[in-house]
């Protein structure tokens, strides 16, 4: 039983006010209204193709052709049904199952893609694979953020950890000519940034948000300085790391749609799957996870039962930095191929958004990061086929979604109770 | 997350402690005691710590410059043959860098006449102008316990408003510039108020909301710069038309100097901020909420409403920074990069100024000097301007952790009080 569950249980039993939330039916009513206007009113009467297979698949799926107008009508009606259905269920005091909004999201996405890419053919596996590649650094960063905040230290410095990892992996990866060393050194670099955060936040009790913001500036300045001083001078010797090559997992990589997306990736991505699974399991099922959450929720209670709060925080923040650093390595070793000034381009802040949107849970934060990665890649894919939505609005989407999430319109997000508060023993 | 309170209770006590201590002393060793106390007061005071933090940061910056300088590396290669060469190389690298920094920001003594020699100082003030205005926006929000990281977004929206008023409208002289500056302030204030409103209504954390609003503002202006609303119709570049002549803040010392009336506006804004925080009843409520929101609520202060007010004001100050940029410094039109890092620098400025209006003013001038000198340093000594970011962030880190600076310089740690340092 976790502290979160106890406090939730208490607040539930302690109040008798009407807790029915009408947010979901209202949201779906609005979405189906918008889709009615856009997907029906402004539809081109041309079919949209969805190419589900790539050449390496074990068997080929046919290209699905959806007529834009008819799909718009069907999708709008289905979402209106979801709105009415969920409203009915809520009025009957029944809980709406999770698959209902998930199904609604799939309908909305299908409707949107069909409308936006009318008269073109979308390569679906590449769409998702690209989304995953964009999401990988976000997921690493978000996991680092989740661990750090769950142990009670606000981690605004994710951006700095990614950037440090990106820089060091480029330099070390080039000098040693081994991507593996680059990856390891990136973890160490992220950990060093974490040490800095810990020293100021835990030892000197400086406000954690301030330290985080300042560390971001510091690392940006430091890597930018060293980049201009060293890497620009001799790019071949210092900034030419060898990347990981993609490894196809036999059989699994041949499954249509899933295979090319998930199982034709580089080593870092497979490492990511393992880390996500381990962190998600360990956070709720092991002694490490229990202690971590106890320190983040109620450090005094944790201290009373003999957990060393300062040490737990220090080493878990270090672990968080190491994981975030791996994300930085992915940026230089797999995405860009070399380090550039501020190469992370705000990925750390999107990762922070994923932490909050994912309500400080490893799996949910990963899904949030995937969603953000998908939104960015959608913009790329649609700009190729020529989309009616200005690309800026697609790029804006993750941030708007986060604001809505934080403002509690989607659901209440509650940070770990002691996150951001220094613990002074005594 | 805890509310950041930039005041350090710890550093304000030594004075009282010193007084009681000196009263207890006997008359014979009063002189020594007075001297010791005076020393202790200075040594544990804010001013000295700020100074030492700056010195420490500049030292570390010097080490970085020395380590990455190619001459120094060459000399280190034959260190045991001629050790003097290494020190000479270090001296010329670090000395040259900081000399260039000084010449680029304060006084260039290589020039013949005084007017052109003092030009760098006016350049410093040009860079300081938006930093002070935006820094005040962050500082005022700090006093209420809000951490406004949204300077970037507020500056972008303020610039869009001020810019639009400056080229799309046709107004008589004097009136136009007033209207354009005011529009900038309104734009920034509206963007800031979103965060305040969400904080007041839903409890959404202002740090996250302001960070996200920065990106939303960036993409919004990127989009608008592609439409006819902000784009110069005669060009394909995503850039606004130049400001109309009537809307430009006139230069202070003639056309030879870039310093413009925006600096006078910023001095006025600092006075206003001082009056607002220290003398007005609204400022009293601000400080009360910043020190303890729960107590303030019990005392009958409408905390939520104050969150909205303060974010309006904070955004307005960032908007003023935007106005001085697009109407004074670069009047030839702007792109989506109009913020140029001012929004984030403003945070460090406010932290260095300890969130007091005049402290922020001084910090803004210091960082303005770093910026002006940094460009000269980059041009003449080919030292990347990023070193300025490193030094700035180190200054703030050291100032935020007084015990660390005291430990480095072996100064007495003040008393055995609880070492709770926030901000």
B119 in helix, strand or coil?
A: helix
Give residue A257's region: left, alpha or beta (phi > 0; psi -120 to 50). left
Q: Contact A204/B68, CB-based, under 8 Å?
A: no
Q: Is A310 exposed, middle or buried (0-12, 13-18, 19+ CB in 10 A)?
A: middle
On whether any CB of chain A is under 8 Å from the CB of B400, the answer is: yes
- % of chain B beyond a pLDDT of 90: 34
Residues 6+ apart with CB under 8 A from B36: none
pLDDT in tens, A124-156: 888 888 899 999 999 999 999 999 999 999 888
Whether residue B5 is predicted with pLDDT greater than 60 in this model: the reply is no
What is the distance in angstroms between the CA of the first residue and the CA of the last residue of chain B?
13
Gap from B22 CA to chain A (nearest CA, Å): 30
SS3 A49: strand
Give the residue on A whose Cα is nearest the Cα of B348: A214
Q: What is the mean pLDDT of chain B?
A: 83
Hey, is the C-beta of B417 within 8 angstroms of any chain A C-beta?
A: no
Residues 316-355 in A contacting B (C-alpha not used; CB under 8 Å): 341, 346, 349, 352-353
Scanning B64-123 for CB atoms below 8 A from A yields 64, 68, 70
Average pLDDT (B367-381) is 89
CA A70 to chain B, closest CA, distance in angstroms equals 31
The alpha carbon of residue B192 is apart from the nearest alpha carbon of chain A, in Å, by: 14
Element (H, E) at B320: helix B303-324
pLDDT at B35: 53
Report which secondary-structure segment, H or E, holds A310.
Answer: helix A309-330
Report how far residue B268's alpha carbon sits from residue B345's, in angstroms, rounded to the nearest whole number. 21
Task: Please tell me the distance in Å from B261's CA to the nearest CA on chain A.
Answer: 30
- pTM listed for this prediction: 0.83
Q: With contact defined as beta carbons under 8 Å apart, do A377 and A131 qualify?
A: yes
List the beta bridge partners of residue A49. A65, A121
pLDDT at A411: 52
Pairwise CA distance, residues B59 & B67, whole Å: 12
Q: Is B408 on the interface with A (CB under 8 A)?
A: no
Q: Is the dihedral of CA B323, B325, B329, B330 positive or negative?
A: negative
User: Which candidate, A47, A156, A87, A382, places its Cα nearest to that of B206?
Assistant: A156
Residue B179, burial from CB neighbour count under 10 angstroms (0-12, 13-18, 19+): middle
**For B69-81, what is the mean pLDDT?**
81
CB within 8 A of B262, min separation 6: which ones?
Answer: B129, B130, B249, B323, B324, B327, B328, B329
Query: What are phi and psi for residue B121, nearest 5 degrees?
Result: -65, -40
Per-residue pLDDT band for B34 (boundaries 50, 70, 90) equals: low
The DSSP secondary-structure symbol of A122 reads: E
pLDDT at B18 over 70: no
Chain A neighbors of B201, CB-CB under 8 A: 407
CB A367 within 8 A of CB A181: no
Residues of chain A with pLDDT under 70: 1-21, 385-388, 408-413, 426
pLDDT at A413: 60
Q: How confident is the model at residue B52 (pLDDT cuts 50, 70, 90)?
A: confident
pLDDT tens digits along A183-207: 999 999 999 999 999 999 888 888 8
Q: How far apart (Å, rounded) are the C-alpha atoms in residues A330 and A182?
A: 10
Assess whether pLDDT exceeds 50 at residue B17.
Answer: no
B397 touches chain A (CB under 8 A): yes
The pLDDT, as a whole number, for residue B30 is 54
Predicted pLDDT at A359: 84
Helix axes A347-357, A158-175, angle to 10 degrees: 130
Query: Touching check for B394 and chain A: CB below 8 Å?
Result: yes
Please give, rounded to a whole number of angstroms, the shortest distance from the CA of B397 to a CA of chain A. 7
Instruction: Please name the residue that has the structure tokens 């870039």.
Output: B258
Buried b (16+ CB within 10 A) or exposed e, B196-210: bbbbbeeebbbbbbb
| ipTM surpasses 0.90 | no
Most confident range (mean pLDDT) of A291-305, B111-125, B202-216 is A291-305
The secondary structure element, H or E, covering residue A264 is: strand A264-265
Which has the higher per-residue pLDDT, B74 or A160? A160
Interchain proximity B400–A207, CB inside 8 Å: yes
How confident is the model over B261-304, as pLDDT tens digits? 999 999 999 999 999 999 999 999 999 998 888 899 999 999 89
pLDDT surpasses 90 at B39: no
| Chain B partners within 8 Å of A352 (Cβ) | 208, 211
């Amino acid at each position: 039983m976790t502290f979160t569950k106890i406090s939730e249980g208490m607040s539930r039993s302690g109040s008798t006010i009407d807790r029915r939330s009408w947010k979901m039916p209202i949201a779906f009513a609005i979405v189906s209204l918008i889709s009615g206007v856009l997907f029906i009113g402004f539809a081109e009467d041309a079919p949209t193709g969805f190419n589900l297979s790539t050449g390496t698949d074990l068997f080929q799926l046919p290209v699905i052709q959806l007529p834009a107008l008819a799909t718009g009508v069907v999708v709008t009606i289905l979402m209106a049904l979801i709105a009415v259905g969920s409203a009915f269920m809520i009025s009957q005091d029944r809980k709406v199952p999770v698959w209902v909004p998930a199904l609604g999201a799939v309908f909305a996405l299908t409707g949107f893609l069909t409308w936006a890419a009318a008269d073109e053919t979308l390569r679906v596996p590449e769409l998702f694979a690209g989304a995953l590649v964009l999401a990988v650094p976000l997921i690493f960063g978000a996991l680092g953020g989740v661990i750090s905040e769950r142990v009670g230290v606000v981690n605004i410095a994710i951006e700095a950890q990614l950037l440090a990892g990106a820089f060091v992996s480029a330099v070390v990866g080039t000098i040693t000519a081994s991507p593996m060393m680059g990856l390891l050194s990136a973890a160490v670099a992220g950990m060093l940034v974490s040490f800095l955060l810990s020293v100021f936040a835990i030892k000197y009790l400086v406000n954690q948000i301030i330290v985080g913001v300042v560390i971001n500036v510091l690392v940006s300045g430091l890597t930018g300085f060293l980049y201009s001083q060293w890497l620009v001078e001799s790019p071949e010797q210092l900034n030419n790391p060898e990347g990981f090559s993609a490894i196809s997992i036999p059989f699994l990589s041949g499954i249509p749609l899933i295979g090319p997306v998930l199982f034709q990736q580089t080593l870092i991505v497979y490492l990511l799957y393992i880390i996500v699974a381990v962190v998600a399991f360990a956070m709720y099922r092991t002694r490490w996870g229990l202690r971590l959450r106890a320190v983040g929720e109620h450090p005094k209670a944790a201290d009373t039962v003999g957990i060393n709060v300062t040490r737990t925080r220090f080493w878990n923040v270090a672990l968080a930095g190491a994981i975030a650093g791996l994300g930085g390595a992915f940026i230089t070793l797999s995405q860009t191929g070399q380090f550039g000034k501020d190469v992370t381009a705000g990925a750390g802040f999107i990762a922070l958004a994923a932490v909050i949107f994912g309500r400080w849970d490893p799996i949910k934060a990963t899904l949030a990061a995937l969603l953000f990665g998908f939104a960015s890649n959608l913009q790329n894919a649609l700009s190729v086929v020529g989309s009616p939505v200005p690309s800026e609005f697609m790029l804006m989407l993750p941030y708007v979604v986060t604001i809505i999430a934080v403002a509690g319109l989607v659901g209440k997000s509650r940070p770990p109770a002691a996150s951001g508060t220094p613990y002074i023993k005594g | 997350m805890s509310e950041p309170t930039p005041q350090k209770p710890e550093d304000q006590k030594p004075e009282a402690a010193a007084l009681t201590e000196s009263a207890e002393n006997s008359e014979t060793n009063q002189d020594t005691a007075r001297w010791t106390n005076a020393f202790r007061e200075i040594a544990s005071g804010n001013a000295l710590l700020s100074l030492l933090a700056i010195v420490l940061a500049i030292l570390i910056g010097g080490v970085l410059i020395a380590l990455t300088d190619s001459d120094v590396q060459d000399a280190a290669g034959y260190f045991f043959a001629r050790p003097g060469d290494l020190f000479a190389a270090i001296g010329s690298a670090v000395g040259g860098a900081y000399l260039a920094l000084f010449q680029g920001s304060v006084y260039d003594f290589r020039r013949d006449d005084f007017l052109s020699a003092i030009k760098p100082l006016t350049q410093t003030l040009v860079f300081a102008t938006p930093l002070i205005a935006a820094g005040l926006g962050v500082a005022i929000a700090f006093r209420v316990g809000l951490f406004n990281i949204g300077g970037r977004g507020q500056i972008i929206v303020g610039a869009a408003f001020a810019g639009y008023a400056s080229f799309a409208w046709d107004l008589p002289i004097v009136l136009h510039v007033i209207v354009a500056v005011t529009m900038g302030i309104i734009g920034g204030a509206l963007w800031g108020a979103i965060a305040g409103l969400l904080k007041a209504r839903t409890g959404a954390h202002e740090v996250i909301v302001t960070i996200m609003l920065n990106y939303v503002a960036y993409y919004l202006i990127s989009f608008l710069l592609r439409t006819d609303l902000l784009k110069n119709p005669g060009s394909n570049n995503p850039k606004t038309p130049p400001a109309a002549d009537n809307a430009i803040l006139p230069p202070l010392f003639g056309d030879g100097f870039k310093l413009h009336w925006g600096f006078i506006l910023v001095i006025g804004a600092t006075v206003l901020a001082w009056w607002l925080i220290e003398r007005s009843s609204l400022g009293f409520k601000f400080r009360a909420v910043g020190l303890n929101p729960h107590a303030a609520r019990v005392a009958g202060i409408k905390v939520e409403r104050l969150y909205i007010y303060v974010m309006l004001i904070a955004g307005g100050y960032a908007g003023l920074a935007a106005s001085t940029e697009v109407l004074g410094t670069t009047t030839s039109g702007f792109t989506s990069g109009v913020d140029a890092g001012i929004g984030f620098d403003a945070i460090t400025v406010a932290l260095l100024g300890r969130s007091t209006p005049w402290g922020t003013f001084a910090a803004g001038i210091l960082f303005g000097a770093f910026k002006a000198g940094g460009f000269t340093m980059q041009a003449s000594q080919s030292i990347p301007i990023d070193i300025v970011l490193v030094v700035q962030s180190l200054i703030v880190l050291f100032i935020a952790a007084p015990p660390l600076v005291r430990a480095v310089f072996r100064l007495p740690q003040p008393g055995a009080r609880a070492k709770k340092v926030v901000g």
